[in-house]
Amino acid sequence: MAIADTDTRTSTGVLSTVVYGARPAAEGPGLPELFAWVDEIAALTQPDRIHWVDGSRGENELLLREQVDEGKLIKLNPEWRPGSYLARSHPSDVARTEARTFIASEKEIDAGPTNNWADPAEIRATMTRIFTGSMRGRTMYVVPFSMGPVGGPLSHIGVQITDSAYAVTSIGIMTRVGTDVVELIAAGSPWVRTVHSVGAPLEPGQQDVEWPCNDEKYIVHFPETLEVWSYGSGYGGNAILAKKCFALRIASVIGRDEGWLAEHMLLIRVISPEGKAYHVAAAFPSACGKTNLAMLRPTIPGWRVETLGDDIAWLRPGEDGRLWAINPEAGFFGVAPGTGESTNVTAVETLWGNTIFTNVALRPDGDVWWEGLTDEAPAELIDWEGNPWTPDADRPAAHPNSRFTVSAAQCPQIAADWDAPEGVPLDAILFGGRRATNVPLVLEATDWTHGVFLGSTISSERTAAAEGTVGELRRDPFAMLPFCGYNMADYFGHWVRVGQKLRFDRAPRIFQVNWFRKGTDGRFLWPGFGDNARVIDWIIRRIEGKVPAVESPIGRLPRTDDLNLEGIEVPAADLEELFAIDRESWLAEADLTEEFYDTFGDRVPSSLRAELSSLRYRLKQG
């Protein structure tokens, strides 16, 4: 890492700084625009120093060591967790700030009813006000990053400016950071601008705190200019702007304009006992088994799953008529509680070292712990807020949204070609929610448009399964409700149009799955976890044309005899209930779907309205 110990003035002559990470020496027509933008943000935020991040290992170690020296990170015991650290956030800064997340499109209708809209001129004035002097006393880091392999045909690049070293080291795990990205910008490649400040300027001599943040928080996306501005939070996706902000909200807009899809999807390769590989993408809302499926260990002998991605997939139609996918991320940013040996041993093995943990508990031996890691809690811990904790405490040791940030390359199930620039061709797309009633274990769409209809109706129930009614549904179409950067009805239409670019015999088949259906006694009817591979097995046999399906009013269902249940006990009555269709409940659900569609006015594609009408017709035929 280049170190400069002389004062350097920006090209505007506004700010004199000590440059820790030297400005890149690359040349090219794209650099003046980059340098001018950095100077503009520096003049606005008034940092003491500017550090151009080069992504080197030595630089990363320096940044981690500095954070330990400042009390912002705790170095974990290298005997148990080498190269790993624990961060504790402020109790007010522990999750995504969705209520303060805005889409500042030129027209309010383009944001749609599911997003918080802000007038771009007004919100830009607000951002200018609160960012003025926001980095005083701090270092302004300039982080060039790539989503997807650098220079890949499905990849996109960006630059994040931030005053948080925690964000820098996290971005270094979650993306590809380095001077090769600057070289692409120099050559004229388009790039996304992202700006982040914790909003905690320091006066001369003022002591910093362990977790600087601000009670006033904003995350603002400007889809027309492809910008993200985030203020006040240092946590997770609020600070790692390459993740949800760029890779989903902004990328969904780019995908709309360029004819591809940015999706909240895991990506896996399923390998049959015969050695044939199939590629599956799946969209699940939170708490619906997404990470477990991404790292699935099948209970069926001979089957294997390789992980390609656990959270985000970019899908692009290929010239061959297939839909190709990449995981644009380089790491996993996962929820720790509930991740354990019995639920996701692959994830636990991934966290052996080189991991940044946030808001988990600290063991006396210098390792970490969280609820669900082991069956029994240690006798004593330091909780996520730094207080002594025992199993008798009336509070969790780790925050429910505590996190781990780790390189995807450390996953023992990661595919050898997980970061291949061209990606993989998809064979199947799965949609699923957490439904205790109505939705069967697995359902095949009749065609692409029907599959888009299924994706648009993803939901989870708020009410208890024992009530036996559809209840109030928490809608999360395509698992993208918080992450779509434009009007979601237009997004539905974009999905329909992408399907029209695919060859009908090469497009991925679409399925809906539901691991969470319960019986009338409130008991889960399906064992889940590794046994979900039995559903994948049926899906693959459907793709291969090896098993028939049963036509139903809601789609194509399996014959229960075609499910591979060898080695597990699922009573015949449970199987029947897993696939039971209550026509009256489904008609009630159709009414709820219509109410949801109506929130978008006349922007819902007519083809999806037609799918809803057809569903009602089939249900009434008896």
Cα–Cα distances (Å) from 546 to 227, 365, 505, 568, in that order, read 48, 54, 16, 23
The single-letter DSSP state of residue 507 is S
Instruction: Give the dihedral sign, CA 262/263/268/269.
Output: negative
- The helix/strand/coil state of 6 is coil
Helix axes 31-45, 120-131, angle to 10 degrees: 60
Apex CA 262: angle with CA 257 and CA 264, to 5°?
A: 155
> Where do runs of H (alpha helix) occur along 71-117?
108-111
DSSP string for residues in 516-566? T-B-TTS-BSS--GGGGHHHHHHHHHHHTT-S--EEETTEEE--GGGS--T
Handedness of CA 86, 90, 93, 95 (dihedral sign): positive
How far apart are the C-alpha atoms of 469 and 500, rounded to whole Å? 37
Q: Find the angle CA(330)-CA(189)-CA(158) to the nearest 5 degrees.
A: 40
Residue 85 per-residue DSSP state: E
CA 167 to CA 87: how far, in whole Å?
Answer: 11
H or E stretch at 346: helix 345-350
545 Cβ contact list (under 8 Å, min separation 6): none
Write out the DSSP string of 452-492.
Answer: HHHHHT-EEESS-GGG-S---EEE-GGG-TTT-SS-HHHHH
Phi-psi region of 453 (alpha: psi -120 to 50; beta: other; left: phi over 0): alpha
Least Cα distance to 316 among 250, 256, 273, 402 occurs for 256
DSSP state of 315: E
Please identify which of the residues 213, 245, 288, 484 carries the catalytic annotation: 288
Cβ neighbourhood burial of 462 (10 Å; 0-12, 13-18, 19+):
exposed
245 catalytic residue (yes or no): no
Is the separation of the CB atoms in 419 and 330 below 8 Å?
yes
Query: What 3-state DSSP class applies to 171?
Result: helix
Residues 228, 234, 238: CA angle, nearest 5 degrees: 35
Contact between 210 and 85 under an 8 Å Cβ cutoff? The reply is no
- With residue 7 as reference, give the H or E element that holds it: strand 7-9
Give the CA diameter of the chain: 81
Burial of 89 (0-12, 13-18, 19+ CB in 10 A): buried
DSSP 439-462: S-SEEE-SSHHHHHHHHHT-EEES
Q: What residues are labeled active site?
A: 288
